[in-house]
Amino acid sequence: MRAVLQRVSRASVSVDGVPAGQIGAGLLILVCAMQGDGEAQADKLAAKIAKLRIFKDNAGKMNLSVRDAGGAALVVSQFTLAADLRGNRPGFSYAAAPDEGRRLYEYFTARLAGEGIPVANGVFGADMDVELVNQGPVTIWMDTDQI
């Protein structure tokens, strides 16, 4: 699985102008299930994100996880993280099939919540408007093949 994490002071997602999910301080997580991914990759990604120390402690050092900082996560499906850029028009054949992508997205979200992190969601497969205030800015790209 692939993910882009952004440390935010707030983030929200809406579909056709209707709010779907929002958080205050925490992480905006754009996530994509890749072909061949399964629950093991979702488990690995959720565990890593829950423990990743990218929030400031009282001394101003990035020493706290989202859970330690009392933050939440807004999880948004993002199949374009699977883009094949060999040509000028991206292809997305590396992404999991839609049904499997949805299943793993929902599984990942549940695992993250199981780590004790409040979770809000986007709408799988929808055209969404995502708004965020990136704090830092801190933006981290993750791939379960590399963590």
Q: Which domains does the chain have, with CATH numbers?
A: 2-141 (3.50.80.10)
- Region 89-97: what's the mean pLDDT? 94
Tell me, yes or no, if 79 is annotated catalytic.
yes
Out of 6, 78, 108, 109, the active site residue is 78
Nearest-5° angle of CA 106, CA 110, CA 112?
115
Out of 80, 92, 109, 146, the active site residue is 80
The amino acid at 90: P
pLDDT-based confidence at residue 55 (cuts at 50, 70, 90) = very high
Q: What is the DSSP letter of 144?
A: G
Tell me, yes or no, if 78 is annotated catalytic.
yes
Tell me, yes or no, if 80 is annotated catalytic.
yes
Q: Residue 5's pLDDT is what?
A: 98
The amino acid at 139: T
pLDDT-based confidence at residue 82 (cuts at 50, 70, 90) = very high
